[in-house]
């Protein structure tokens, strides 16, 4: 794969790269650049998380050495979204889920390094860097940079203010050249690009993926969230998946503000490409019979022209999501005790 091909593969289905010229220079100068992505191990992962997880495959196949970090300490610092006694178990569950999802793409788990935040976040140098950064920025600026990620509330706790500096220092501790995440993390990483050179470190290239809105449509209220009931969890049953997809907003012929189409574009078609197959939408003969699509643009065009009924689109989406999520369920069912320990409320 030449440089142009690598860049095109890395760029697809991303919302922003800061800066693209820096990424190009990095790929030219470093045969095996390092990237990382971290998830705070709080609520159960949902299908919105599949967008960056599937994108990991593009980075790995472009020659990037990738690390996934289960940010267990961050989950506690964010208003105790994860209780202290559950941090280790939840980190292990997240790692198992990442492995299961990547297996859907045919990516061997040996291709990605998995770490927990608590494995390295107690070192002396780690905290010396954090102390230096904390004296370079105001509380107001820190809160603004973190507001899309941390739940501050009316009486913000100090843990939420440690959070962004730790996330920035994770880049250095993991020796990452690239910070990769959903665009909701942008504020923290832009702060990092500002602060790290001031304490003697190189600023990272940042790659951001778009967010999937909740199933009621973006106009109805924001991104899909682990704490929201308007999501499809990565451990939902087949019955739950079909029910939630059936009730999702999907206006006939409407291609904007359509979470069903968004999921096809950002999750299903990237998966289909790795699996080397086309999308099959099953329909009775009286409604035109089965139809296949090679690309998302073909599907989008047919739907906008009224050739695909919303319910046929939803049935196809539910089938594809069940194929993914069943892999996660099957893996976690092999260790039900760990799942129960991490999420007692699911027992």
pLDDT in tens, 15-41: 999 999 999 999 999 989 999 999 999
Question: Among candidates 215, 203, 151, 148, which has minimal Cα distance to 179?
Answer: 203
pLDDT at site 223: 59
277 and 333 in a common domain: yes
Cross-strand bridge partners of residue 112: 66
The CATH number of the domain holding residue 277 is 1.10.240.10
Q: Please, are residues 314 and 245 in contact by the beta-carbon 8 Å criterion?
A: yes
196 and 100 in a common domain: yes
Question: Among candidates 207, 193, 162, 141, which has minimal Cα distance to 7?
Answer: 207
Per-residue tens of pLDDT for the chain, all 347 residues: 899 999 999 999 999 999 999 999 999 999 899 999 999 999 999 999 999 999 999 999 999 999 999 999 999 998 878 899 999 999 999 999 999 999 999 998 899 999 999 999 999 999 999 999 999 999 999 999 998 888 887 888 888 899 999 999 999 999 999 999 999 999 999 999 999 999 999 999 999 999 998 888 754 345 555 545 578 999 999 999 999 999 999 999 999 989 999 999 999 999 999 999 999 999 999 888 999 999 999 999 999 999 999 999 999 999 999 999 999 999 999 999 999 999 998 76
186 and 150 in a common domain: yes
**What is the number of other CB atoms lying within 10 angstroms of the CB of residue 24?**
17
Q: Residue 215: helix, strand or coil by DSSP?
A: coil
pLDDT at site 219: 44
Number of domains in the chain: 2
Cis before 164 (ω within 30): no
138 and 65 in a common domain: yes
64 and 19 in a common domain: yes
Q: Please, are residues 323 and 271 in contact by the beta-carbon 8 Å criterion?
A: no
267 and 165 in a common domain: no
pTM of the model: 0.91
112 and 170 in a common domain: yes
What is the spatial distance between Cα 340 and Cα 347, in angstroms, rounded to a whole number?
6
DSSP line for 97-147? HHHHHHHHTT--GGGEEEEEGGGTTT-HHHHHHHHHHHTSS-HHHHHHHHT
C-alpha distances (whole Å) from 80 to each of 159, 161, 168 are 9, 13, 20
Final residue of a structural domain among 156, 175, 209? 209
236 and 196 in a common domain: no
Final residue of a structural domain among 146, 177, 209? 209
pLDDT at site 224: 56
pLDDT at site 15: 95
The CATH number of the domain holding residue 186 is 3.40.50.620
252 and 139 in a common domain: no
Final residue of a structural domain among 209, 237, 260? 209
16 and 99 in a common domain: yes
pLDDT in tens, 177-201: 999 999 999 999 999 999 999 999 9
327 and 281 in a common domain: yes
C-alpha distances (whole Å) from 59 to each of 50, 116, 204, 254, 319 are 14, 21, 15, 32, 27
Domain enclosing residue 44, as ranges: 3-209
What is the spatial distance between Cα 13 and Cα 285, in angstroms, rounded to a whole number?
34
222 and 205 in a common domain: no
């Amino acid at each position: 794969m030449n440089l142009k091909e690598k860049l095109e593969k890395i760029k697809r289905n991303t919302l922003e790269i800061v800066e693209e010229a820096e990424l190009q220079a990095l790929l030219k100068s470093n045969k095996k650049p390092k990237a990382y992505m971290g998830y705070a191990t709080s609520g159960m992962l949902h299908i919105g998380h599949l967008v960056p997880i599937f994108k990991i495959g593009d980075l790995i196949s472009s020659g990037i050495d990738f690390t996934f970090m289960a940010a267990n300490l961050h989950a506690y610092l964010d208003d105790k979204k994860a209780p202290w006694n559950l941090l280790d178990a939840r980190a292990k569950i997240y790692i198992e889920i990442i492995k299961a999802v990547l297996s859907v793409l045919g990516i061997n788990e040996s291709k990605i390094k998995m770490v927990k935040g608590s494995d390295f976040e107690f070192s002396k140098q780690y905290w010396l860097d954090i102390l230096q950064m904390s004296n370079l920025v105001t509380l107001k600026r820190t809160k603004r940079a973190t507001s899309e990620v941390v739940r501050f509330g009316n009486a913000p706790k100090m843990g939420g203010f440690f959070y962004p500096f730790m996330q920035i220092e994770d880049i250095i501790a993991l020796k990452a050249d690239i910070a990769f995440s959903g665009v909701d993390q942008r504020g923290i990483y832009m702060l990092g690009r500002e602060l790290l050179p001031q304490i003697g470190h190189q600023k990272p290239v940042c790659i951001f993926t778009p967010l999937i809105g909740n199933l009621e449509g973006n106009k109805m209220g924001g991104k899909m969230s682990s704490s929201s009931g308007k999501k499809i969890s990565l451990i939902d049953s087949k019955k739950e998946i079909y029910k939630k997809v059936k009730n999702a907003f999907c206006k006939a012929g409407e291609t904007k503000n359509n979470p069903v189409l968004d999921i096809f574009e950002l999750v299903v078609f990237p998966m289909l490409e790795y699996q080397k197959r086309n999308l099959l939408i099953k329909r009775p003969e009286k409604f035109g019979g089965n139809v296949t699509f090679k690309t998302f643009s073909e599907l989008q065009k047919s739907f906008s022209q009224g050739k695909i009924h919303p319910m046929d689109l939803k049935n196809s989406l539910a089938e594809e999501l069940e194929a993914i999520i069943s892999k996660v369920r099957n893996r976690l069912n092999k260790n039900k005790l760990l799942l129960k320990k991490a999420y007692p409320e699911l027992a």
